[in-house]
Amino acid sequence: MPPPRVRFAPSPTGYLHVGGARTALFNWLYARHTGGTFVLRIEDTDRERSTDAHTKVILDGLGWLGIQWDEGPFFQGAYGPRHKADAERLVEGSAAYRCFCTREELDAQRREAERAGLTFRYDRRCQSLPPEEVERRRAAGVPSTIRFLVGDEEIAWDDAVHGRISFQGRDLDDFVILRSDDTAIYNLAVVSDDIAMAITHVIRGDDHISNTPKQIALYRALGHEIPVFAHVPMILGPDGKKLSKRHGATAVGDYQDQGILAPAMRNFLALLGWSPGGDREILAEEEMIALFTLEGIQKKAAVFDATKLEWMNGEYLSARPADELLPAVTRRLEQMGVDWGGRDLRPLIESVKTRSRTILHVAERVAVRLEPSRSTLDEKGEALIRKMGPAFATNLERAADALEPLRNGEWTAEQLLASLKDAAESHGLKLGDAMQPIRVALTGSTVSEPVNELLEVVGPDRSLARMREVAERVRGAGSAR
CA dist list (Å): 361 to 23, 271, 358, 376: 29, 24, 5, 13
Q: How far is the CB of 192 from ligand GLU (least distance, A)?
A: 12
Asked if residue 190 binds ligand GLU (CB under 6 A), the reply is yes
Q: How far is the CB of 240 from ligand GLU (least distance, A)?
A: 23
Task: Identify which of residues 196 and 282 has a Cβ nearer to ligand GLU in the complex.
Answer: 196
Q: Which of 4, 6, 9, 329 binds ligand GLU (CB under 6 A)?
A: 9
Contact 133, 99 (CB under 8 A): no
List, in sequence order, every residue forming a beta bridge with 148; answer none if it has no partner: 96
Q: Which of 4, 6, 10, 385 binds ligand GLU (CB under 6 A)?
A: 10
Task: Identify which of residues 208 and 475 has a Cβ nearer to ligand GLU in the complex.
Answer: 208
Of the ranges 8-16, 308-316, 386-394, 453-461, which one interacts with ligand GLU (CB under 6 A)?
Answer: 8-16
Q: Which of 4, 5, 6, 11 binds ligand GLU (CB under 6 A)?
A: 11
Binding residue count for ligand GLU, defined by CB under 6 A: 7
Contact 384, 437 (CB under 8 A): yes
Task: Identify which of residues 184 and 190 has a Cβ nearer to ligand GLU in the complex.
Answer: 190
Contact 21, 61 (CB under 8 A): yes
How many Cβ atoms sit within 10 Å of the Cβ of residue 57?
18
Task: Identify which of residues 227 and 263 has a Cβ nearer to ligand GLU in the complex.
Answer: 227
Asked if residue 381 binds ligand GLU (CB under 6 A), the reply is no
Q: How far is the CB of 165 from ligand GLU (least distance, A)?
A: 15
Of the ranges 3-11, 340-348, 386-394, 448-456, which one interacts with ligand GLU (CB under 6 A)?
Answer: 3-11
Long-range contact pairs involving 99-104 (C-beta distance under 8 Å, separation at least 24): 99/126, 99/144, 99/145, 99/146, 99/147, 99/176, 100/126, 100/129, 100/137, 100/142, 100/143, 100/144, 101/125, 101/126, 102/143
- Strands of 228-232's sheet, edge to edge? 71-75, 37-42, 5-8, 201-205, 228-232
Q: How far is the CB of 115 from ligand GLU (least distance, A)?
A: 34
The DSSP call for residue 351 is: H
CA distance 224 to 92: 17
Q: Which of 121, 124, 208, 374 binds ligand GLU (CB under 6 A)?
A: 208
Q: How far is the CB of 322 from ligand GLU (least distance, A)?
A: 40
- Conformation bin of residue 367: beta by default, left when phi > 0, alpha when psi is -120 to 50: alpha
Could you give the 3-state DSSP secondary structure of residue 252?
A: helix
Could you give the 3-state DSSP secondary structure of residue 430?
A: coil
Is 245 a catalytic site residue? yes
Contact 86, 183 (CB under 8 A): no
Of the ranges 6-14, 174-182, 319-327, 446-454, which one interacts with ligand GLU (CB under 6 A)?
Answer: 6-14
Q: How far is the CB of 250 from ligand GLU (least distance, A)?
A: 15
CA distance 185 to 99: 15
Catalytic residue among 241, 245, 308, 387: 245
Q: How far is the CB of 300 from ligand GLU (least distance, A)?
A: 21
Q: How far is the CB of 43 from ligand GLU (least distance, A)?
A: 4
Of the ranges 4-12, 346-354, 396-404, 459-467, which one interacts with ligand GLU (CB under 6 A)?
Answer: 4-12
The interface with ligand GLU within residues 30-59 (CB under 6 A) comprises 43
CA dist list (Å): 371 to 112, 191, 313, 416, 451: 74, 60, 26, 20, 16
Asked if residue 86 binds ligand GLU (CB under 6 A), the reply is no
Task: Identify which of residues 40 and 359 has a Cβ nearer to ligand GLU in the complex.
Answer: 40
Asked if residue 61 binds ligand GLU (CB under 6 A), the reply is no
Task: Identify which of residues 218 and 480 has a Cβ nearer to ligand GLU in the complex.
Answer: 218
Asked if residue 204 binds ligand GLU (CB under 6 A), the reply is yes
Cα dihedral 433, 439, 445, 446, rounded to 10, equals -40
Could you give the 3-state DSSP secondary structure of residue 3?
A: coil
Question: Which residues are known to be catalytic?
Answer: 245
Interaction site with ligand GLU (CB under 6 A):
9-11, 43, 190, 204, 208
